[in-house]
Amino acid sequence: MLLALGEKDPAKAVIAMLDEPTWKDKSLALYELSRLRDARVVGPVARLLCEAADDYLNADSELTATQAVEYALAAIAGAGTKESLHALVDLLRVDLSRFGAYIDREGFRRIIAAHLIELTGESFGLDADAWRNWLETQAEGK
């Protein structure tokens, strides 16, 4: 990890670690991505949360898996882009508790909603359709 962070473009190197089967500490990689606040992390991290197998995080405890998911959400939100808003809204429909049940599905949805509220100043709670409608009206310039 230190070698990756010492590179000229650490985000690219750390994102690559997410797909590296020999790199077991996905939580550490997600933590570092959350600190980088790089827009390039949004797509890969959102895909990971949507598509990865339940055991992807290889966590030694439910708490570690939960922290990894929280780092992933923070990495997406930290980018602060329109893409990150769309990814967060999409994740409202994903059962993130499948990685570890330390926090249940509704708990993760509340964390996502908190990121959305912080980024937009708006509040539609856990209503993915309301968030989607709001994003569409923003894109249309209304």
Q: What is the pLDDT of residue 60?
A: 73
Q: What is the pLDDT of residue 136?
A: 94
Backbone conformation region of residue 140, classed left if phi is above 0, alpha if psi is from -120 to 50, else beta:
alpha
Q: What is the pLDDT of residues 93-133, one digit of tens each?
A: 999 999 987 899 999 999 999 999 999 999 999 999 999 99
Encoded amino acid at 74, one letter: A
pLDDT classification of 59: cutoffs 50, 70, 90: low
pTM of the entire structure?
0.91
The answer to whether residues 135 and 127 touch, using CB atoms and an 8 Å cutoff, is no
